[in-house]
């Protein structure tokens, strides 16, 4: 089984507010995108597991648009590290979304440890004078534990910066060992994000490099599915599909020049090419 994920980030923000959304009004954006990519996901649901990670505002729209027979899953882009408990906290989590809250909205997947989340947590800790990567991974571990307890599947992200490339095994090893400590791995997939390769003009990891990292992740996690999180796109879809130890990819942008953004036709083309249907 292959895994294809899409992370919609904050692609809902309109251009006049410095975003990239030209597809639909914000009030309809989640429903519009869901409707446009639903057919592609259902068409290939026998070949791949699909999940789309929405900003929280669109979870209910996505869940409402998902029919009982649909073969794809609604995902959220992050959760809080604590949750409600019988006889304990009844829901006093102002501003924080918990695993059980998004589960109650129809969510089935959560993205944890995305490089942007890691940078945010490291930045908050830095304000307190703390520069401890293990502390970030311990916080993420609390989120993973909450997600599993609530019955959510997890896409857990790991990866190294350019400065960390010469010790990638230590960096990614810590992210896995600490972040997934005492976790039932049956519902966990791991996304590899080569931070040094993300962004315009950056070098692109080749098949050998990705194979090396993916094999390491599998060996450290008893064979968890490994997803390429550096960006599944038309240009690398066939290359990634041919790496035996890579089980899928994470799609962000589908158009990288001009009116950049996430477009349904681009999503369909990437899926077709990755699963062997495209030229």
Q: Tokens 């036709």: give the residue.
A: 265
* Catalytic-labelled residue, pool 49, 117, 143, 193: 193
Residue 240, both tokens: 């990634």
39 is catalytic: no
Name the maximum alpha-carbon separation found in the chain: 57
Element (H, E) at 227: strand 226-228
Beta strands in 55-174 (DSSP E): 72-76, 109-112, 153-158
Confirm if 111 and 75 have CB atoms less than 8 A apart: yes
- 230 and 194 Cβ atoms separated by less than 8 Å: yes
Residue 127 annotated as catalytic: no
- Catalytic residue selected from 49, 114, 117, 160: 114
Q: How far is CA 136 from the centre of its chain?
A: 17
Catalytic site positions: 114, 193
């Amino acid at each position: 089984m292959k895994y294809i994920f899409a992370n919609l980030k904050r692609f809902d923000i309109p251009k006049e507010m410095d975003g990239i959304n030209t597809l639909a009004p914000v009030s309809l954006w989640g429903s519009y995108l869901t409707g446009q990519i639903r057919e592609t996901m259902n068409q290939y649901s026998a070949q791949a597991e699909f999940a789309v990670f929405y900003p929280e505002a669109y979870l209910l729209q996505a869940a409402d648009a998902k029919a009982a027979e649909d073969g794809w899953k609604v995902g959220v882009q992050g959760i809080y590290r604590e949750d409600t408990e019988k006889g304990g906290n009844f829901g006093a989590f102002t501003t924080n979304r918990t695993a059980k809250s998004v589960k109650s909205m129809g969510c089935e997947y959560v993205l944890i440890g995305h490089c942007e989340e890691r940078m945010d947590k490291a930045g908050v800790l830095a304000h307190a004078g703390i520069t401890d990567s293990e502390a970030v991974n311990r916080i993420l571990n609390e989120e993973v534990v909450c997600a599993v307890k609530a019955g959510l599947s997890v896409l857990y992200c790991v990866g190294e910066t350019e400065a960390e490339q010469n010790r990638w095994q230590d960096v990614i090893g810590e992210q896995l060992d600490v972040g997934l400590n005492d976790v039932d791995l049956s519902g966990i997939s791991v996304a590899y994000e080569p931070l040094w390769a993300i962004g315009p003009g950056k070098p692109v990891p080749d098949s050998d490099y990705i194979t090396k990292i993916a094999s390491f992740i599998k060996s450290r996690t008893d064979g968890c599915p490994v997803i390429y999180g550096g960006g599944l796109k038309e240009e690398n879809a066939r290359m990634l599909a041919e790496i035996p130890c890579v089980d899928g990819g994470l799609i962000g942008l589908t158009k990288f020049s001009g009116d950049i953004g996430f477009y349904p036709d681009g999503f369909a083309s990437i899926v077709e090419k990755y699963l062997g249907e495209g030229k």
